Structure 1
């Protein structure tokens, strides 16, 4: 088993937290929150894919 890349895991966790916070802001009517929410979600998704590639 390979060692865990904790920086990538933290990036995914942080991106998910920010994306949910922005989603909550969008639901409350803050239209501007779409942009940082989408950026955070895309960064988290990219890191998940990078973590999956490391396992193979």
Structure 2
């Protein structure tokens, strides 16, 4: 996923269809320097993790 698009999604109040390994996720914040995002599965908000933006897909 493009860094700018990930930032737009994270800042937007609207829900975007983003997946990580086929699982729908919520993007909490984007780390511009490392090109990573703090995410969690929609059905498991306690399972936060940091992943590379290249592994996120917008459906």
TM-score by length of 1: 0.30
TM-score by length of 2: 0.29
- Structure index of larger Rg: 1
Q: Relative contact order (C-alpha < 8 Å, sep 6+): which is higher? A: 1
Considering fraction of residues, name the structure with more strand: 2
Considering fraction of residues, name the structure with more helix: 1
